[in-house]
Amino acid sequence: MKKHLTFACAVLSLILISGCKLPTRISSQNLSYIYKTEDQSIHPIFTVFHVNDSLTRIHYKLNSAELLYSKKNHDQYIANVTMHATLVDAYEYETIRDSLTHRIEHLGNNAVQQLITGTFNVHAVSGKNYLLAIKTTDVNRGESALSYIEVNKEKQAGAQYYRVLESRKNLDILRRYTGNDEEITIQSGIPNTDSLFVRFYDRDFPLPAPPFSIVNPKAFSYRADSVFYLPLNTEHKLTTTLHKTGFYHFQADSSTQNGITLYSFGDNYPKVANSEGLIGPLRYLTTQQEYDHMMGEANPRMAAEDFWRGSGGSDERSRDLMHKYYSRVENANRYFTSYIEGWKTDRGLIYIIFGPPNVLYKTSSGENWIYGEEHNALSLQFTFTKVDNPFSENDFTLNRSPMYKNSWYRAVDTWRQGRIY
């Protein structure tokens, strides 16, 4: 379908709610739906930019194809969307710091896919962090999606003090990864800055160990593989392309670790589209010998298909297995991208093998995943601890334990026997 860009005609209404509280803390709510976005009808995307010490701007994108348009008059159709945003201190806190409702009225129809973009502001003072809960509702359809955005204003000159835009269209890029040939523009929101210091890291990180394997990870060396400066223009912007695969840390002040990190994982990321994308995630299901054999094959795609055909027993079954497995790989890339690809993270490992959890609790310090019924002794539970990482706000490490050994091999054997776990 032909794509058009349309900026939403929006009405912003601010509700003054000083002293009000949420009905229940977000940390006590089951948030498992955030990793089951295929079950949602609308998929808004958000990013944060700090305008000044008291104001923060939220940029968003919506796909018009996901909205229901109703007839306004004889030749016009309209979609109605509301975004109700509530700012609290953290997942564990109930006191509301700010709240607003952003309304979008978009003229169009469901025959032509359009990109709807816009912004709204929240009041957040610097020196502390917050959590922004956003309920996006397609009013005509009566369906909603909930999003939780961390607003990080404790550290000056952190990642949310920068904007990243697609240079040719001058549109905000609401993600931290770029293609190798994608021209981007970075805008610094930090005053009195005429250039950005860039540290480039080209590192080969190992795949995560199984959940029962107690590991002592090698300490990360902050010494960059290369460093350079990029000048800012009079609008505090620079344009560049991240040709080399790796991650780039942009800083206004190189004496600190604060800055924004952008990841270059190839033009097709987060999709699975090369030999590493096909065979790499199979390491979670194979022995080292099997994996080395597939990596050495002249045709990696055929080697991967042979593995799945051997597991599924038929072409149809193997296609079903491949579709489900690599869909989880791609979802892991979308949900869990950090300084490494999402499928290579601890959460990616568990998500790919076990699927999305039945119950998910989030706090400021981590996530708790439950497979099965809550408070059931037979249920499986994984705890992930958030890592203070200057290159990512999305880095979590699994609390490993020998108790996971039987559950892990049971899940792996299920996949290898041609059944989706």
356 upstream amide cis, omega within 30 of 0: no
What local confidence, expressed as pLDDT, does residue 19 receive?
53
- pLDDT value for 300: 85
Is pTM beyond 0.85 here?
yes
Strand-pairing partners, residue 116, are 6, 62
Question: Do residues 262 and 248 make contact, with C-beta atoms less than 8 angstroms apart?
Answer: yes
| Pair 396, 402: CB distance under 8 Å | no
CB crowding 19-40: b at 16 or more within 10 Å, else e:
eeeeeeebbebebeebbeeeeb
The pLDDT value given to residue 112: 82
Please give the helix or strand (H or E) that residue 148 lies within, else none. Answer: strand 143-152
Is residue 294 classed as helix, strand or coil in its secondary structure?
helix
- Range with the poorest average pLDDT among 4-18, 115-129, 261-275, 392-406: 4-18
Q: Give the tens place of pLDDT for each residue, 159-173.
A: 999 999 999 999 999
Residue 408 CA to chain centroid, in angstroms?
A: 25
Q: Find the mean pLDDT for residues 379-399.
A: 97
In eight-state DSSP terms, residue 324 is: H
- The answer to whether residue 189 scores a pLDDT higher than 90 is yes
CA distance 108 to 62: 13
Tell me the average pLDDT across 115-127.
96
Residue 85's nearest CA partner among 147, 32, 161 is: 147
Q: What's the rounded Cα separation, in Å, for the pair 81 and 141?
A: 10
Mean pLDDT over each residue of the chain, to the nearest integer: 92
CA 300, 304, 309, 310 torsion-angle sign? positive
Q: Looking at residue 411, what is its pLDDT?
A: 98
Confidence band of 275 (pLDDT split at 50, 70, 90): confident
Q: How far apart are CA 309 and CA 363, in angstroms?
A: 41
DSSP β-ladder status, 183-188 and 237-241: antiparallel
| pLDDT over threshold 50, residue 45 | yes
Confidence at residue 219, expressed as pLDDT on a 0 to 100 scale: 85
Helix ranges (H only) for 162-274 are none
Q: What is the predicted pLDDT for the residue at 24? A: 86
Buried b (16+ CB within 10 A) or exposed e, 311-333: bbeeeebbebbbeebbebbbbbb
Pairwise CA distance, residues 360 & 355, whole Å: 12
Q: Over the stretch 297-341, which tens digit does the pLDDT of each residue have? A: 889 889 999 999 999 999 899 999 999 999 999 999 999 999 999
Q: What is the pLDDT of residue 57?
A: 98
Does the pLDDT of residue 185 top 90, yes or no? yes
Q: Tell me the pLDDT band of 351, cut-offs 50, 70 and 90.
A: very high
Q: Specify the pLDDT at position 5.
A: 43
The candidate with the shortest Cα–Cα distance to 46, out of 165, 172, 141, 162, is 172
Q: Look at residue 62 and give its three-state secondary structure.
A: strand
Q: Spell out the domains of the chain, with CATH numbers in brackets.
A: 3-154 (2.60.40.3880), 161-264 (no CATH), 275-416 (no CATH)
**pLDDT tens digits, 2-26:** 344 444 444 444 444 445 877 789 9
Average pLDDT, stretch 269-277? 86
pLDDT level of residue 215 (50, 70, 90 thresholds):
confident
| pLDDT score recorded for residue 23 | 79
Q: Are strands 237-241 and 359-363 parallel, antiparallel or unpaired?
A: unpaired
Sequence-ordered list of residues with C-beta below 8 angstroms from that of 170, at least 6 positions apart, any chain: 185
